[in-house]
Amino acid sequence: MRADIYNCPFICAIIEKLIYKVSPICKLGGDCMEKRVIAGVIAVTVIAVAVLSAGCIEEKKTTLTIGYQPSTHQIAAMLAYDKGWWDADLAKFGIEQVVMKEFPSGPPEMHAMLAGDLDVAYVGVAPPIAAMYEDLDAKIVAGVQTQGSALVIRPELADEYNRKGPESLIGKKIGTFPPGSIQHTILSKWLMDNGIDPKEDVDIKAMGPSDAATAIGAKTVDAVFLPSPTPTIIVEEGNGVIVEWSGSMWPNHACCCLVASGEMMRKHPDMLKQIIRTHIRATEYQIAHPDEAAEIYAKWEHADVSTIKHSIKATDMEWIHDPHLEMESGEEYAEVIYDLNRERYESKGIKPLTRADIFDTSFYDEVIAGK
């Protein structure tokens, strides 16, 4: 039962009126008074339970704002918009406008969600978890894709990496997304797994994909760890060599997901289920039509179509929509993020998040069940 009595003022009004009608009988005496009081209480209870069971009446909402990033990981969001599915599928809920907001990476996207500027977001699994540690009112409600990022190093450093592996990165500058992102989380864990302190042994620079691509081309960083399609773009420009895909660094790891704000879950549950249905439709369509998906992405991001097609074929990314496939990684991300911020979190009495804190699969499960 998702209905929240504190978000259903009409229930309170009904109960208040019923109590007002029942209260005069308190002036009566004996069994008559007792029976009528009991009858009134039963009526109040039955109506409240019935309304709660049916769910709260969804509040009127005319604009839906979706966050996303310029990555082939999140083509489903662009594809659904490009084909008019968001508008057509959500019109019955009173949505007159769907606004797509692009962000360079997950952390600033989650800052926008913390500020109440996003209803749902296509984002890596790690950023919402990091934001949940800072009291983000949201949950992961669907999967988007797994794996799909790559470690790219400057061409002249490739031989050293091939000889020494991760050890060759000690003392190097590495560009990646900001702390709390999927890329920063995976890179940090992978370095630690290889005996390298991500804070002391390497110099990790926080930057978005375009800035990172420019930096490795200008040789102001030695390597970058980024989501597709940027690694392929860097390679085709002759500025780098892919030495690791993220699937080799953390096999089958969750990457992007669909996050819904607490307000969407509580006040617009039926609309949220439709959003998930549309997302599933877009995901299955792009899996069946990868070249068309590449063309849509290239149009949105003013990219070379052949490069995007090559990126989709080369990457170890897998498009998905089932959130259950991301739950194990989600818990691991929560632990890694906690370890990286342990001193601050412990000083505030913050405990590690569990999958129950991070995910709400009930909407997806109902959609799959045909409810």
The Cα–Cα gap between 120 and 259 comes to 5
* Residue 2 pLDDT level (bands cut at 50, 70, 90): very low
pLDDT of residue 59: 67
Residue percentage of the chain with pLDDT more than 70: 84
| 64 contacts 86 by C-beta, under 8 angstroms | yes
Contacts of 175 (CB under 8 A, 6+ apart): 204, 205, 207, 211, 212, 215, 216, 221, 223, 224, 225, 226
142-182 pLDDT, tens digit per residue, is 999 999 999 999 999 999 999 999 999 999 999 999 999 99
Residue percentage of the chain with pLDDT more than 90: 84
Q: Tell me the three state secondary structure of residue 51.
A: helix
Indicate whether 52 pLDDT > 90: no
Question: What angle do the packed helices 305-314 and 290-301 form, to 10 degrees?
Answer: 130
pLDDT of residue 23: 40
Contacts of 91 (CB under 8 A, 6+ apart): none
Angstrom distances, CA of residue 313 to CA of 85, 228, 232, 258, 292: 26, 11, 10, 23, 13
Indicate whether 242 pLDDT > 50: yes
Q: Closest Cα partner for 4 from 261, 265, 260? A: 265
The Cα–Cα gap between 21 and 186 comes to 62
Indicate whether 34 pLDDT > 80: no
Mean pLDDT of 304-330: 97
pLDDT of residue 323: 98
Indicate whether 32 pLDDT > 50: no
Instruction: Enter the tokens of residue 3.
Output: 């209905």
The Cα–Cα gap between 173 and 293 comes to 34
Mean pLDDT of 334-353: 96
Mean pLDDT of 269-298: 98
Indicate whether 5 pLDDT > 80: no
68-89 pLDDT, tens digit per residue, is 999 999 999 999 999 999 999 9
Contacts of 301 (CB under 8 A, 6+ apart): 70
Indicate whether 203 pLDDT > 70: yes
Mean pLDDT of 216-227: 98
Mean pLDDT of 346-365: 97
Mean pLDDT for the chain overall: 88
| 261 contacts 120 by C-beta, under 8 angstroms | yes
Mean pLDDT of 340-345: 95
pLDDT of residue 371: 77
| 213 contacts 230 by C-beta, under 8 angstroms | yes
Most confident of 11-15, 58-62, 226-230: 226-230
| 61 contacts 92 by C-beta, under 8 angstroms | no
* Residue 25 pLDDT level (bands cut at 50, 70, 90): very low
* β 120-124/63-68 pair status: parallel
Indicate whether 188 pLDDT > 90: yes
Residue position matching structure tokens 């194990």: 328
279 sits in which H/E element:
helix 269-288
